[in-house]
Structure formats: C-alpha cells, structure tokens
Amino acid sequence: MLTPYDFQENLQQRAQYIRNRLRAGSPVIGISYDNGVLLLALKRRGRKVYEIYDRLMFSAIGNQADVENLRLAAIDFAHQEGFVRSPDDVTIQRVVGFALSPALKKAFGDPLTTPFVARALFAELHNQPERDLFYTLNYDGEFMPYERFAVIGGTQTAEEQAARYLEANLSSVPTFETSVAWALTAWGIAYEAAQQEDIDAVSEEAGRTRLREMLNEAQVELGVLERQTLRENRFRLIPQEQLEPFLRRV
Amino acid sequence: MWTQSGDFYELLQRYQAQTGVRVPLLTPVDAPIDAPSAALEVHGTTVIALKFKGGVLNVGDRRATAANAVMYDRADKIIPLDDYTLVAIAGAYGRAMEVVRYLRHSFKYYARSQLQPMSLDGKLQEVSRALSANLPNALGGIGLFLPILSVYDPDQGRGRIFFYDVSGARFETPEYGAAGSGSERIRGVFDYITKTKGAFSERPLEEVLREAILLLDIAADLDAATGGVDKVLPTARYVTHEGVFEVPESDIRAIVQSIRTGGNA
C-alpha cells in the first residue's frame, strides 16, 4: 500500500532518474536580438531546433521520443487554435502553460506511467525586441518565463552559470553577430558546468576550450525567427557556411 | 498505435470530435437548393495569372459584389499560401477565404510536423480535396469559387499555373489562366497577345505586368462587376525561385498612368 512517505520517495526517485539522464544533454541558448530571436544548440545527429508556429520555435534536451511528443503536441495545439481562432491567439503562454504543462505534470506524478525525460525551451517573436519571450518547460510541468535570453542545460548550475555570463556581457538589444558569438561561449560554459559537478564558476576560457573540443564531434544548429522579412515563413535554420566565420573566431 | 501523418484535415476532425466545437469547413452549410444566394453572397470578380521569364505573375482587381451591389472595393484576391505558392480567387469570397486559411495551415502544418515541405503534387491534391469537400455547398448555390494556383516548381526550374473546376478537377495551363466574370469577356485577348507578341513565359516581368493591367482594364470596360484599375489600384504579386513578392503600388500606378496618358490605351 502507498503511504505519503512512499509517494514522496517515488517522486524523488523519478526526479533523480530524469536528472541523471538530462545531465548529458547538449544545452540550448536563446537570445533576443534586434532583428529576431535565435536558439543555438550543438547536435551530433538529427535536428535540435524546430519551428512550432509562425512566431514560435522550440528546442529541448532529453529523450528523443519524449522531445518529439512535446514538439508534435505543441504543433497540433498551435495549428488547431490558429485556424479555429486566429494566428494572433497562438501565444507561448497558451501553448506552454495550458497545452503542455498539465500533461507533463500528470505523467510525472502518475506512478504507473513513464515520466517525460525532457526539458524544453520555447521562444516567441514579437514586433519589438523588448517584448520577445522565452519559456522553459520542465519534465514535471513547471514552466518559467524569461525576457532577453534564456538557457536550458543538463543541470541547474549549468543554466545559472551560462545565464550569469550572458547577463554580464549582453547589451540590451544586441545585433545578430554579437548574439551568436555570446551564445557560443555561453553554450561552452553551460556544457562544461554540467560535466563538472563541484565547480563554482566556469571561466569564459574553460567554456571556449570545451566548445572547441565539442565542435570536433558535433555541429552547431542555429534557428532564427526573423522580425523583418519578405518571406512568408519567419523561421529558418542558418546554413553551415554562414556559421563558419563565427566558428573560426571561437 | 496512432501515427502523426501531418494531415491538417485529420487534426481538425479530431479537434471537432474531442471538443464538440463545430469547425465550419468540415460541415456543409444547410442551404435550401433554391436559395437566392447571388443576392446574399459576396463575390470576387476578375483575377489573371500570366507566366513571365522566371516565374508567374498574378493580378486581380479589388472589387467584391453581391448581385449588382458593389460590397467592397479593397478585396485582396491574390494570396500567398507559402513561399512558392500563390492563389488567385474568383467567386464566393467568404468560402474562398476560409479555404485559403485552411490551405495555409495545411501546408505549414505538414512542413512543420513532418520536417519536410509538402510536395507540389501533394499541395495541388490538397486544393482538390478542399474543393470537393465544398461541392455540396456549391451545388446548393452557396460558396462556389474557383482558384488559380501559381507555383514555382524547383524541380523543373520554372513557374507553373493550375486551375480547377468546382468538383476539384485540376488542369495545368501552359501560358496563362484567368477566372471570374471579367475573365470570360477577355478570353480571346490572351490568345491574340501570345500569337502576335510571343509566349508570356519568354517575356520579362515588366512587359507582362503591363499586359496584365491592360487586360484587367479591358475586362472592367466589358464587365460591370470588375473593378478596373483607376479608382483603387489592382493587386499584383509574383512568384519566382526566390519566393513570393508584391509589386509595389508605385510601379502599378506608373503603368496605369502611362496607359491613360497615351501609349496603348
């Protein structure tokens, strides 16, 4: 029979299991810049950054099938709402807060189902950069809004260290070029911090070294939503040749 | 196990079944067969699609009518469905806009969920499906409209034009397409132009744009329901290998002025 103690222990074990699996995840950095929003990640295979709707994109770390389920649930909700109501009513807080979060919470709390092994980052584009929004969504359904930039990584410390670095360096509305440069270093810091449990602060240099090392085995994936564009779709993945100049400077 | 096929129609059906919210597009309107639809319904009139060297140009007047009343003189009947597809609409405005909204979502839903764009044939088929779903309405006298689809085909490296009948049958046309009340009156002119000045698909955009506006002007002269080019400027959009673009108003105004002040008016 389950007692209150068992219930708590069960949740802790589930959380521990998920955190252990997320630790190895490749971080994702989101930054809002003058002409858009970007999500930057490193991938070994497959895709990392995905378009959800006209002004929404997404990336996540965790189990591939769980990430895929989240992605499709978000796309389904966004498109049926966008058609039945209006594309203007498809907002990050409705998608994350109402469509996804309760389902994650339910799966996490139910001892008879497998919980989602995933932590996701959503980005929403607005007409003014000051209004761009990021939401992180956790495996237990917890979500959190951010402005200007946001980070998801293997551990909480990893996220905090990368965020501190961005806070210290990022100007209020950066350009695309500076955003990509800072995002790359922030990625290195977050990844390094997730690997080294007992370290207080990862230096910028240590972050860059780790990034250089990882670039030998993985590729940068950079997805953007463009504020001003003639194209029908605002989302695009930046092609590798356009990333080369940034990678040479790492 | 249920698998995601990227089919937007199926998504809407599931939504309707789960929520009980009625999606208008999925359920035909119960119209009496002898409804005085022409008096109730707003209709868009004349749209023209012409090929040019490198793509396809669409031009449409701005008038929407209900019977012999002019309901609206700023209707936009040339609408991008995605980066390489334009649709030009003639006929029942309300139903057409609903289907356009459906198609835009359908193409994007497929591309976003399946991580690959819908094929050209898939898109053309999707238009057929939307039209055949609309057939009961059209037969009932409400919601009859005809789309012309202009695409850039990256495999063949050229623009292509497709038109449809009410039941969803699809036809490809080699040089030009037109729909709406005004288009009937000027049908022969297209042939005259290709026979005297050569194929539209071999001529530059500027020349073809001028022909299109002139054709629209003639249609307005011969058809009371066509808005013409003077009071409100027509819309013009074109599709090339680089995507869908709008012709700036100033360019259209310059052509209209030159037609009025001399040249070949």
Query: Can you give the CATH number for the domain in which B72 is found?
Result: 3.60.20.10
Higher pLDDT, A177 or A46: A177
Q: Which of A52, A11, A18 is nearest to A235 (CA)?
A: A52
Q: What pLDDT shows up at residue B209?
A: 97
More reliable by pLDDT, B129 or A7: B129
Q: Looking at per-residue confidence, does A118 or B23 come out higher?
A: A118
| DSSP 8-state assignment for residue A27 | P
| pLDDT value, residue B225 | 86
Closest CA in chain B for residue A71: B113
Interstrand relation of A49-53 and B85-92 (parallel, antiparallel or unpaired): unpaired
- The arithmetic mean of pLDDT across residues B105-123, rounded, is 96
Contact A84 B23 (CB under 8 A): yes
Asked if residue B48 belongs to a domain, the reply is yes
pLDDT of residue A232: 85
Closest residue by Cα to residue B146 from B252, B45, B249, B7: B45
- Counted domains in chain A: 1
Question: In this structure, are residues B43 and B61 in contact, taking their beta carbons and an 8 Å threshold?
Answer: no
| Structure confidence by residue, pLDDT tens digits, A186-235 | 999 999 999 887 777 889 999 999 999 999 999 999 999 999 988 889 99
d(CA A93, CA A91): 5
Q: pLDDT value at position A161?
A: 95
For residue A10, being part of any structural domain is answered with no
Single-letter residue type at A69: N
> Distance (Å, rounded) from C-alpha A87 to C-alpha B191?
42
pLDDT digits (tens, 9 = 90+) for A3-28: 656 788 888 999 999 999 999 999 99
Contact residues, chain B, for A221 at CB < 8 Å: none
Chain A contact for B108 (CB, 8 A cutoff) = yes
Say whether pLDDT at B28 is over 70.
no
Residue B67 lies in a domain: yes
Over chain B, what is the mean pLDDT?
Answer: 89
Measure CA A109 to chain center: 23
Please indicate whether residue B26 or residue B68 has the higher confidence score (pLDDT): B68
Average pLDDT value for residue range A162-173? 93
Q: What is the pLDDT of residue B184?
A: 87
Res. B1 pLDDT band, cuts 50 70 90: very low
Q: Which residue of B112, B118, B237, B239 is the best one to mutate when testing the A interface, meaning the one whose CB has the most A CBs within 10 A?
A: B112
CB contact under 8 A, B4 and A79: no
Q: Give the CATH number for residue A191.
A: 3.60.20.10
The rounded distance, in Å, linking the Cα atoms of B93 and B106 is 20
Answer whether residue A30 shows pLDDT above 60.
yes
Q: What is the residue type of B154? A: P
Contact by Cβ (8 Å): B154, B166: no
User: What's the DSSP call for residue A26?
Assistant: P
Q: Tell me whether residue B21 is in a domain.
A: no
pLDDT number for residue B38: 53
What's the pLDDT score for residue B60?
Answer: 95
Cβ pair B82:A233 closer than 8 A: yes
In a domain, A15, yes or no: no
Q: Which of B23, B101, B112 sits opposite A75 (nearest CB)?
A: B112
What is the pLDDT averaged over residues B142-162? 93
Nearest residue to A230 (alpha-carbon basis) of B250, B57, B243, B109: B243
Taking residues B21-30, report their average pLDDT. Answer: 74
Query: Which is nearest to A109 in space by CA: A24, A2, A23?
Result: A2
Provide ipTM, 2 decimals. Answer: 0.93
Per-residue pLDDT at B69: 85
Is B101 in contact with A83 (Cβ distance < 8 A)? yes
Measured in degrees and rounded to the nearest 5, phi and psi for residue A13 equal -65, -40
Q: Give the pLDDT of residue A200.
A: 77
State residue A5's pLDDT score: 63
Residue B36 reports pLDDT greater than 60: no
pLDDT of residue A99: 94
B178-232 pLDDT tens trace = 999 889 899 999 999 999 999 999 999 999 999 999 999 999 999 988 888 888 9
DSSP class of residue A100 equals I
Q: A75 vs B109: CB contact, 8 Å cut-off?
A: yes
pLDDT for B34 beyond 70: no
Bridge partners (DSSP) of residue B92 are B43
Å between A218 CA and nearest CA of chain B: 21
Q: Residue A11 falls within a domain, yes or no?
A: no
- Of B27, B45, B173, B261, the catalytic one is B45
**With an 8 Å Cβ cutoff, is B101 touching chain A?**
yes
Supply the pLDDT for residue A111: 84
Can you say whether the dihedral through the CA atoms of A125, A126, A129, A130 is positive or negative? negative
| Tokens of residue B203, six digits | 């001529």
Query: Contact, B170 vs B147, CB < 8 A?
Result: no
In terms of C-beta distances under 8 Å and separation of at least 24 residues, what long-range contacts does A138-141 make, across chains too? A138/A104, A139/A15, A139/A18, A139/A22, A139/A62, A139/A104, A139/A108, A139/A115, A140/A15, A140/A104, A140/A105, A140/A108, A140/A109, A140/A115, A141/A101, A141/A102, A141/A103, A141/A104, A141/A105, A141/A106, A141/A108
Helix ranges restricted to H, chain A: 4-22, 64-84, 92-93, 101-109, 156-169, 176-195, 204-215, 240-248
Q: What digits encode the pLDDT tens for the residues B57-93?
A: 999 999 888 888 888 888 899 999 999 999 999 988 8
A195: tokens are 């690997």
Phi first, then psi, for residue B233 (nearest 5°) are: -65, 145
Identify residue B30 by its one-letter amino acid code.
D
Q: Do B15 and A84 touch (CB under 8 A)?
A: yes
Count of structural domains within chain B: 1
Q: What does the pLDDT look like over A71-83, one tens digit per residue?
A: 999 999 999 999 9
Examine residue A163 and state whether it is found in any structural domain, yes or no.
yes
Chain segment A92-140, per-residue pLDDT in tens: 999 999 999 999 999 999 888 899 999 999 999 999 999 999 999 999 9
Element holding A30 (H helix, E strand): strand A28-33
Q: Looking at residue A211, what is its pLDDT?
A: 96
pLDDT at B32: 55
Domain contains A17: no
d(CA B138, CA B29): 10
Cα Rg for chain B, rounded, in angstroms? 19
In a domain, B33, yes or no: no
* pLDDT at res. B67: 82
Considering the domain boundaries, does residue B146 fall inside one? yes
Answer whether B23 touches A (CB < 8 Å): yes
Name the H helices within chain B. 8-19, 37-40, 93-114, 120-133, 135-140, 181-185, 187-197, 205-222, 249-260
C-alpha–C-alpha distance, residues A175 and A168, integer Å: 16
Residue B209 placed within a domain: yes
For chain A, the farthest-separated pair of C-alpha atoms sits apart, in whole angstroms, at 62
Dihedral, A153, A154, A156, A161 alpha carbons, nearest 10: -50
Q: Has residue B14 been placed in a domain? A: no
CA B223 to chain CA centroid, Å, is: 19
Distance CA A78, CA A54 (A): 9
Could you tell me if B173 and B202 are in contact, meaning their C-beta atoms sit under 8 angstroms apart? Answer: no
Domain membership of residue B101 as a residue range: 40-260
Residue B28 domain-assigned (yes or no): no
Could you list the residue range(s) of the whole structural domain that residue A140 is in? Answer: 27-248
φ, ψ for residue B178 (rounded to 5)?
Answer: -155, 150
Q: What is the mean pLDDT of residues A66-71?
A: 96
**How confident is the model at residue B29, as a pLDDT?**
63
